[in-house]
Structure 1
Amino acid sequence: MVPLLRPGSFVRLDNQPSDLPPFQVLHCRGGRCWVRQQSWGSHVQWEVEHERLSAA
């Protein structure tokens, strides 16, 4: 079972370097989530497979 990742929550990627801050979840749909770093502009997003994410 895949954990529920709510918009606004923070997640880490598999094998994410420890010096990289957690990503913020924008939304999830169809096994994919759109995430961003807070330091990125508000229009920059990254689409990631849900299974690669875990709650921070």
Structure 2
Amino acid sequence: MKRQKRDKMERAFSRGFQAGLTGRSKDECPYQSVDIKMQWLGGWREAIDGRITGLFTK
């Protein structure tokens, strides 16, 4: 059975989340497309918010 490729939007969100957890700057977003960039930034914001509130630590 073939594996389905993950959705590009889901992957962008996940990568943004990982970038936020590691403390990377939002200026390091690798995407140019507005929709995908917004997903990356959404993941980044969620991770940063989690770090600030103490849900995640480095």
What TM-score, normalized to structure 1?
0.23
Q: In proportion to residue count, which structure has more helix?
A: 2
The structure number with the bigger radius of gyration is 2
- Please give the TM-score of this superposition, normalised by the length of structure 2: 0.23
